[in-house]
Structure 1
Amino acid sequence: MLNVVVLVSGGGTNLQALIDAVDSGSVANTKLAGVISNNRNAYALQRAADNGIPGICISPKDFATRDEFNVKFLDAVDTLSPDLIVLAGFLVVIPPAMIEKYRNRIINIHPSLIPSFCGTGYYGLKVHEAALKRGVKVAGATVHFVDEGTDTGPIILQKAVEVVQGDTPEVLQRRVMEQAEWKILPQAVGLIAAGRVEVEDGRVFIRE
């Protein structure tokens, strides 16, 4: 059984996609062990409560220093004994000690086809604003492992989404979520739960 902890800052639509996939059995051998948010008003915490999943808020704002937060944050994660940590719209920098401890056991969903429109400053609507400004014809989403860089870890899955003439950032964001994010994030968790994902030389290989 893959013990999964989800980290989220906002509404938790990707969390809901995971909850639905586990409940339906389309993602097997997986337990959502806990949800951690840096935002006590995040609707994701309500989604967790509604589905009987332990939820906790731990925010950098509640600590005198970032180092103090990092220690308490890692303690909170460790308490849930995760086999896999899923960043689903989590807007806090992951402490280096946590990346090292959970090497190739932290994944993130990013709303673009990496390496396009990723890295520092590219999150939320900003990604889609940049894509439309550049005039791309195809957008999409990427699930990748987390390393010390920003959106630089090994890519697990990607899915392309067509950009439609007249799209606004909000419309494109919704289409990317519905057609890509909510599909490939549960799929990636399912592949990891099935033991089919391997990382070699910075690249992901999915075993048949």
Structure 2
Amino acid sequence: MLKIVVCVSGGGTNLQAILDAVDEGKVTNTQVIAVISNNAGAGALDRARARKIPGIVMSPKKYADREAYNQAFTGRMQELAPDLVVLAGFLVRIPPQMVSAFSGRIVNIHPSLIPSFCGVGYYGLKVHEKVLERGVKITGATVHFVNEGMDEGPIISQKAVPVEENDTPEILQRRVMEQAEWILLPKAIDDIANGRLRLEDGRVYSASYFEEMR
């Protein structure tokens, strides 16, 4: 059983997609053991409570400085001891010490086709605003492992989504969620839980690839 902790800053639609996929049997061998948010008012915490999943608030504002927060956040995650940490719309950079402690065990969903529109300053609705500003015709979402860089970890999966001429950032955000994020993230978790993926030399392969190479 893959024990996961989901980190969320906002409403938790990706969290809901994971929970629904577990209920529907689309994600198997997986248990959400806690939800962490940096925002005490996050709707994701309400979703967690409704499922009787522990909801934990870890806000940087409650600590003297970022280093103190990083240590506390990492310590709390180590206490929870998940097999996988899932960043599902989490707007706090993961501390380097946590990346090290959970190397190869942190995944993130990003609302663009990395390497486009990623890195510092590209998050949430801002990504979709920039996509529309540039007149991009195809956008999408990416699930990737987290490393020390910003949106630079090995890519697990991607899905393209069309941009329509009358899109607003909000409309485009919803389409990317419905057509890509809510599909990709549960699928990635299920693949990890059931041993279908392998991280090798900074790239993600299907486990079947290595079987075929024998």
> Is this a same-fold pair by TM over 0.5?
yes
Q: Aligned residue for 2:52?
A: 52
Query: 2:3 is aligned with what amino acid?
Result: N
CA root-mean-square deviation: 0.8
**Partner SS, residue 49 of structure 1:** helix
Identity of aligned residues (%): 63
Q: Summarize the alignment of residues 153-168 of structure 1 with structure 2, pairs less than 5 Å apart.
A: 153-168=153-168
Q: CA deviation at 1:67?
A: 1.3
Q: Aligned residue for 2:173?
A: 173
Structure 1 residue 19 and structure 2 residue 7: aligned? no
Query: 1:203 is aligned with what amino acid?
Result: R
Moved over 4 A (4+): none
Q: Aligned residue for 2:41?
A: 41
Q: Aligned residue for 1:105?
A: 105
Q: What does the per-residue CA deviation read over 1:102-137, in whole Å, with 9 as the maximum and x for residues that have no partner?
A: 011000000000000001000011111111111111
Question: How many pairs were matched up?
Answer: 208
Q: CA deviation at 1:188?
A: 0.2
TM-score, normalised relative to structure 2: 0.95
**Partner SS, residue 44 of structure 2:** helix
Q: Aligned residue for 1:125?
A: 125
For structure 2, the residue ranges without an aligned partner over 5 or more in a row are 209-214
CA distance in 1, matches of 2:76, 2:47: 19
Structure 1 residue 197 and structure 2 residue 200: aligned? no
**Partner SS, residue 152 of structure 2:** coil
**Partner SS, residue 56 of structure 2:** strand
CA distance in 2, matches of 1:207, 1:160: 24
Q: Aligned residue for 2:212?
A: none
CA distance in 1, matches of 2:78, 2:23: 25
CA distance in 2, matches of 1:125, 1:38: 18
Structure 1 residue 184 and structure 2 residue 187: aligned? no
Q: CA deviation at 1:69?
A: 1.1
Q: CA deviation at 1:79?
A: 1.8
Q: Aligned residue for 2:85?
A: 85
**Partner SS, residue 16 of structure 1:** helix
CA distance in 1, matches of 2:142, 2:135: 19
**Partner SS, residue 98 of structure 1:** helix
Query: 1:175 is aligned with what amino acid?
Result: R
CA distance in 2, matches of 1:206, 1:186: 16
CA distance in 1, matches of 2:55, 2:37: 8
Q: CA deviation at 1:156?
A: 0.1
Q: CA deviation at 1:97?
A: 0.6
Query: 2:155 is aligned with what amino acid?
Result: I
For structure 1, the residue ranges without an aligned partner over 5 or more in a row are none
